[in-house]
Amino acid sequence: MSTTRSRHDVRVSEPNGALTVVAAIVVLAAGLVGGVAAFNKPAGTTALLRPPNGGPVCGSVHLHRTASGFEVDMDLSGVAPNPPGSTYECWFVGPSDSVQHPNRVSAGTFRVDADARASLRMMTSADLKRFPIIGITLETDGGNPARHGVKVLGWWGSGWMS
């Protein structure tokens, strides 16, 4: 057996070396898949959604500017399915918002499936400088456009696209 190696030879001298090679291939494949997914995602801003009490992240919102406003792509998991007669609503909220003095714009309503997941796309033309906060509330079905429900998720950061 020759001990001379070229720079293209892979030499596995221990049982753990084989595992290292397999792990490297898996990492490389995952990186390629992730790179393709990131390449296909439109440029924009992503925010993580949490319960107002500071619990774990339950989803994300990705905003992508279009000619008519923003596409709002939302992915949620671990959110309770909405009870019969209710719907979740996504809001873009201004700094001094309250139930008595609303300062918010609805981006749309949606439902969460029995597996506690939702994946959806909405559109908004809200001015993100004026409405920099995202809020998700659980509302009763009734056709009233005002917020009446409890806040279940939100993003209170700053630095949206202008």
Per-residue pLDDT, 66: 93
Boundaries of every domain in the chain: 14-43, 45-155
Dihedrals φ, ψ of 95, to 5°?
Answer: -60, -35
pTM: 0.69
> First and final CA of the chain: distance in angstroms?
66
Distance separating alpha carbons of residues 115 and 113, to the nearest angstrom: 5
Average pLDDT over residues 132-140: 92
pLDDT level of residue 71 (50, 70, 90 thresholds): very high
Tell me which amino acid residue 81 is: P
160: nearest Cα among 50, 40, 72, 86 = 72
Average pLDDT over residues 29-52: 59
Q: For the segment 76-95, what is each residue's pLDDT rounded down to a tens digit?
A: 999 999 999 999 999 999 98
Average pLDDT over residues 32-48: 56
CATH of domain 45-155: 2.60.40.200
Q: Mean pLDDT for the chain? A: 75
